[in-house]
DNA sequence: TGGCCTATGTATAAACA
DNA sequence: TTGTTTATACATAGGCC
C-alpha cells in the first residue's frame, strides 16, 4: 500500500521504521476492533517495541469467562504490575464500548483505541 | 472493502459472520506478522470465538524478556539488547521466522500463521 | 463449509508541510 | 517528529460454485 511495494523484512531506516510502526499499529488496532465488533469475538492484542520499551495493547472488554481466564493467567505473571501514575479512570471509557483494561490506556478518537505504557521500570 | 461498506456492528447472519471472521482473522494475523517483521516488534494476538469455543492465536517468538514474561510464556530467554546476534534460534530467520507457541498450533502456508485450539477443556 | 473472483473500500509508503 | 496529502497496493463483501 502506498507508493511502493514493501519487502517483508525489517525496515532498516530508523525513522521510517518508527513511522511505519505507528501507522501500521493503528491500522492493526482498528482492524482488531472491527473484527471484534463485526464478528462478535473477544480479542487481545499486544505489541511491544523493544527499542522504545513501550507496550501497546488493545483488547475487548472480555465477555467470555474462558477468555478472561486465559488472559488473566497471562496477566498475572506480569512482572510489571505498574508504573501507573494515578490514572483513576483506567476503566471502560464512555462512548466506546470497546475497550481495554491495562493501565495507562490512551483512548484517542474513534478508531484509535490504544493502550500504551512505558516499560523502563522493567528493564 | 469489497462490494459494499460495512457498518461497524455485529453481523447478524451467522454464515456471513463466520465467513467474515475467517477472512478478517487471516488478514489481521497477516498484518500482525508484517508489523512484527517490518518494525521489529514483538506481537501477541488472541481471538476467541465464544460461539465456537475456539481460540486463535498469533505471536512472534518473543525476543524480549519483558514481553515474554508478560505473556506468561517462559521459554528460552533472549538477551534483551538483542542488537547482538548469537541467538541462532529465534532471530530473523530467512523465510518463516514467525512462530507460535501455544498448543495445537497450525502453521499453514506463508501468510496463514494461525494457532487455534479448542477451549472446552477450559470451560 | 471452502475456494475462487472482482468490484470497491481501505490502509499506507512516500513526499512534503 | 507529528500531520497532511496522494498514489498505489491490499483487503475483503458479495456472488457463484
Q: Indicate the domain borders of chain A.
A: 14-71
Q: A52 versus B48: which is more confidently predicted? A: B48
Quote the pLDDT of residue B62. 61
Split at pLDDT 50, 70, 90, the class of B118 is low
**Measured CA to C1', what is the nucleotide nearest B108?**
C2
CA-nearest residue of chain B to A17? Answer: B39
Distance CA A40, CA B43 (A): 22
Flag whether pLDDT at A75 surpasses 70. no
Distance CA B27, CA A67 (A): 21
Quote the pLDDT of residue A74. 55
Query: Separation of CA A90 and C1' C5 in angstroms?
Result: 46
- Between chains, do B28 and A31 touch, taking CB under 8 Å as contact? yes
Beta bridge partners of residue B100, listed in sequence order: none
Query: Separation of CA B10 and C1' C9 in angstroms?
Result: 19
CA-nearest residue of chain A to B73? Answer: A74
List Cβ neighbours of A77 (8 Å cut-off, separation of 6 or more): B69, B70, B72
Quote the pLDDT of residue A37. 93
Q: CB-based contacts with strand C under 7 Å?
A: A 1-4, 6, 16, 19-20, 23-24, 26-28, 30-31; B 1-6, 15, 18, 22, 31
- Between chains, do B38 and A32 touch, taking CB under 8 Å as contact? no
Which region among A47-61, A86-100, B4-18, B102-116 has the lowest average model confidence (pLDDT)? A86-100
Quote the pLDDT of residue A51. 72
Among A14-18, A45-49, B66-70, B99-103, name the most confident range. A14-18
Q: Are B68 and A46 in contact (CB under 8 A)?
A: no
Split at pLDDT 50, 70, 90, the class of A81 is very low
Select from 3.65.10.10, 2.40.40.20, 3.40.1810.10, 3.50.50.60 the CATH code of A14-71.
Answer: 3.40.1810.10
Q: B38 versus A48: which is more confidently predicted? A: B38
Q: Which chain B residues are Cβ-neighbours of A121 within 8 angstroms?
A: none
Q: What is the mean pLDDT of residues A77-84?
A: 34
Residue with cell 488493545: A58
Q: Are B22 and B16 in contact (CB under 8 A)?
A: no
Q: Which chain B residues are Cβ-neighbours of A46 within 8 angstroms?
A: 42-45, 67, 70-71
Among A30-44, A50-64, A80-94, B78-92, name the most confident range. A30-44
Measured in degrees and rounded to the nearest 5, phi and psi for residue B38 equal: -60, -45
Flag whether pLDDT at A105 surpasses 80. no
Query: Separation of CA A51 and C1' C7 in angstroms?
Result: 41
Amino acid at each position: 500500500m502506498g507508493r511502493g511495494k514493501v519487502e517483508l523484512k525489517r525496515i532498516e531506516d530508523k525513522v521510517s521504521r518508527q513511522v511505519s510502526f505507528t501507522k501500521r499499529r493503528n491500522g492493526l488496532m482498528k482492524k482488531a476492533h472491527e473484527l471484534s465488533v463485526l464478528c462478535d469475538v473477544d480479542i487481545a492484542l499486544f505489541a511491544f517495541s523493544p527499542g522504545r520499551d513501550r507496550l501497546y495493547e488493545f483488547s475487548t472488554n472480555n465477555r467470555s469467562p474462558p477468555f478472561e481466564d486465559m488472559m488473566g493467567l497471562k496477566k498475572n505473571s506480569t512482572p510489571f504490575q505498574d508504573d501507573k501514575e494515578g490514572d483513576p479512570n483506567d476503566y471502560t471509557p464512555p462512548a466506546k464500548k470497546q475497550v481495554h483494561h491495562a493501565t495507562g490506556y490512551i483512548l484517542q478518537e474513534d478508531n484509535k483505541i490504544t493502550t500504551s505504557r512505558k516499560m523502563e521500570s522493567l528493564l
